Amino acid sequence: MIVWKCFGASVIGPGHIATRKPNQDAWASFHHLSGDGIVVSDGLGAKKFSDFGSRAACLAVEYTFRSCTDKLSTDFAILADRIKIKWISLIKPLVPSDCAATCLFAFRTSNGVVCLGMLGDGLAAAVKVDGSVVSLSDNKSEGFSNITAALSPELTAKDWQWLSMPEEDCQAIILCTDGVADDLSDVTGFVKEFCDAHRGLASVSVARRIREMLEKWPTPKHADDKTIACMFREEEMDE
* pLDDT at residue 209 greater than cutoff 70: yes
Q: Which residues are CB-neighbours of 205 under 8 A, at least 6 positions away?
A: none
Residue 128 CB coordination number (10 Å): 15
Whether 227 and 105 have beta carbons less than 8 Å apart is answered as no
Q: What would the pLDDT profile of 2-59 be if each residue is shown by its tens digit?
A: 889 999 999 988 777 777 788 899 999 999 888 899 999 999 877 889 999 999 999 9
Q: What would the pLDDT profile of 167-194 be if each residue is shown by its tens digit?
A: 999 999 999 999 999 888 899 999 999 9
- Quote the domain boundaries for residue 190: 2-235
Q: For the chain, what is the domain count?
A: 1
- Say which CATH number the domain at 100 has: 3.60.40.10
Q: What is the pTM of this model?
A: 0.91
Residue 224 CB coordination number (10 Å): 22
